[in-house]
Amino acid sequence: MYSIIDIESNGAGFRKESIIEIAIYKYDGHEIVDQFISLINPENEITPFVQKLTKISPKMVKTAPKFHEIAKRVVEITEGTTLVGHNIDFDYRMLRQEFKRLGYEFKINTLDTIPLAKKLIPEAESYSLGKLVKSLGIPLSDQHRAGGDARATLDLFKLLIIKDKDSEIIQQHHEEVNAKTYLNKVRDLTQDLPSERGILYFQNSDGKIIFSDFVEDLNKFAKSVFNTKKKRWEKLQEETENIQYELTGNDILAKLMMKTKGLRKRENLPFGLYHKNDKYFADRITNQKEEKPLLKFKSFTQGLKAVSFIKSNEKFDDIKEFTKLINLKKRNEIWLSSGRTLGEKSFLLFENGKLTSYGFYEFHTQIQSRKKINQLKIDIKTSTVDLQNDLKLGLLRGDFEIQPLPK
């Protein structure tokens, strides 16, 4: 039993997309036994490009069901089937992504008509759906709409089944895709990891965390672990059976979360910002042994950017104004900034110049009372001296909305 699917998305950034239309035809090898086609309210904007391509406007999806309202129907129609699509990786990823937002893990065997067509119709000039079905005389109405593309994919799949007389190629491809090979293990472990900053937790078959680290790109780092041939990673490659993650937001939040969990990542900051003879400049710290840097940087380029920014602000011509801006002493403030996700904000709590706690709150929530802050805060029980440079850089960049500490 097969479920032939096509999905249209709103065109948002990778892993941030939402489904705006879905079409599924349940096919038993002879006829369509069930079907489901629906517009979906993405609860987000549809890019102009997608609107032009699909002719789906925000007005059309405004009253359409949201994904959580049709999720049960998707599970019902696909249960016990193999999911078939033209570039199925996209459709399958979109489904997993939407279900994951609902706290549900969606898993199903898949079959892609593109590699099948390449094997069974090797003479084709193009394997894009539109050009391929046109060359084969398969009708395609409403191209770039889920219903039309899914129906054309179904008709293409029927033809591929006919051409594969003994079902050898389809069966072989099906086994290759879904077999428990190392490549499929890597795909299954990493395919849902976002390309965002966060903490990764590698777990073995017993659920025990065997490795954890803060990384700039969760997806990229996890894949690099499995793709490297360095011996230090061999045991982790072999023993990992599951990967969990936590989004952390900016560098300061990431380091605070790691502190809370007893994790620490050593950071190399070899360059510094200096002020001599009424001039700001960046240099390697080892070249300025007698001077203490005002700020520290990972790279010389980062230092040069800071110098350029400082020079563009006339008030910093007076070094006293600059040191006043980045001075952390005697601060009794709450610093507000972005959180780990789009709908979240974060806060840092300073008491007598010391960072004592941090926390997160929903975008529309007010935290103007000390009582509310106390309910949300996470106390920092270790020294935060190692974060002072990050805090000063944040002040220079204007990363925070700073308010007096509520009484």
The count of C-alpha atoms lying within 13 angstroms of the C-alpha of 308, restricted to the half-sphere facing its C-beta, is: 6
In the DSSP assignment, the letter for residue 398 is T
In the DSSP assignment, the letter for residue 12 is -
Nearest residue to 309 via CA among 387, 395, 400, 388: 395
Q: Rounded to 5 degrees, what are φ and ψ at 145?
A: -115, 145
> How crowded is residue 177: how many other Cβ atoms within 10 Å of its Cβ?
17
- The answer on 233 and 165 residing in a single domain is no
Cα–Cα dist 267/297, whole Å: 10
User: What CATH number is given to the structural domain containing 14?
Assistant: 3.30.420.10
In a domain, 381, yes or no: yes
- The answer on 213 and 317 residing in a single domain is no
Mean pLDDT of the chain: 89
Given 123, 153, 179, which residue is the final one in a domain?
Answer: 179
The pLDDT tens digits of the residues spanning 391-407 come to: 999 999 999 999 998 87
- The answer on 337 and 205 residing in a single domain is no
In a domain, 345, yes or no: yes
CA separation, residue 79 to residues 29, 75, 86, 315 (Å) = 16, 6, 20, 65
Structural domain containing residue 202: 190-247
The pLDDT tens digits of the residues spanning 353-388 come to: 999 999 998 877 777 788 888 888 899 888 888 889
Helix (H) or strand (E) segment spanning residue 247: strand 242-247
Residue 273 bridge partners (DSSP): 282, 295
How confident is the model at residue 370, as a pLDDT? Answer: 85
Cα–Cα dist 141/134, whole Å: 11
> Angle 216-217-219 (CA atoms, 0-180°, nearest 5)?
155
Structural domain count of the chain: 3
- Of the chain, the end-to-end C-alpha distance in Å amounts to 65
Split at pLDDT 50, 70, 90, the class of 68 is very high
Cα–Cα dist 374/359, whole Å: 9
In the DSSP assignment, the letter for residue 299 is S
Q: What integer is the mean pLDDT of 156-184?
A: 73
- The answer on 140 and 19 residing in a single domain is yes
Question: pLDDT over 90 for what percent of the chain?
Answer: 55
Cα–Cα dist 90/105, whole Å: 17
3-state secondary structure of 33: strand
Cα–Cα dist 244/232, whole Å: 21
- The answer on 153 and 14 residing in a single domain is yes
In a domain, 157, yes or no: yes
Given 130, 145, 179, which residue is the final one in a domain?
Answer: 179
Cα–Cα dist 248/243, whole Å: 16
In a domain, 375, yes or no: yes
- Residue identified by tokens 């937001």 is 249
In a domain, 198, yes or no: yes
Helix (H) or strand (E) segment spanning residue 3: strand 2-9
How confident is the model at residue 386, as a pLDDT? Answer: 84
User: What CATH number is given to the structural domain containing 209?
Assistant: 3.40.1440.10
In a domain, 257, yes or no: no
Lowest-pLDDT range, 109-118, 168-177, 191-200, 247-256? 168-177
In a domain, 388, yes or no: yes
How confident is the model at residue 166, as a pLDDT? Answer: 64
Cβ–Cβ under 8 Å, residues 33 and 26: yes
- The answer on 358 and 213 residing in a single domain is no
Q: Where would I find the beta strands (DSSP E) of 248-375?
A: 271-276, 279-284, 295-297, 333-338, 344-351, 354-362
- The answer on 105 and 29 residing in a single domain is yes
Flag whether pLDDT at 92 surpasses 70.
yes
- The answer on 147 and 236 residing in a single domain is no
The pLDDT tens digits of the residues spanning 220-263 come to: 999 999 999 899 999 999 999 999 898 888 888 888 888 887 77
Cα–Cα dist 359/404, whole Å: 16
Instruction: Put residue 277 in one of left, alpha, beta given phi > 0 → left and psi -120 to 50 → alpha.
Output: left
Instruction: Put residue 369 in one of left, alpha, beta given phi > 0 → left and psi -120 to 50 → alpha.
Output: beta
Cα–Cα dist 367/80, whole Å: 48
- The answer on 102 and 7 residing in a single domain is yes
Residues in the chain: 407
- The answer on 201 and 164 residing in a single domain is no
Cα–Cα dist 163/156, whole Å: 11
- Residue identified by tokens 């007389």 is 165
Buried b (16+ CB within 10 A) or exposed e, 251-272: bbbbbbbbbeeeeeeeeebebb
The pLDDT tens digits of the residues spanning 25-62 come to: 999 888 899 999 999 999 989 999 999 999 999 999 99
Cα–Cα dist 76/165, whole Å: 30
In a domain, 113, yes or no: yes
- The answer on 205 and 106 residing in a single domain is no
Cβ–Cβ under 8 Å, residues 21 and 56: yes
- The answer on 81 and 199 residing in a single domain is no
Tokens read off for 263: 């994790």
Question: pLDDT over 70 for what percent of the chain?
Answer: 96
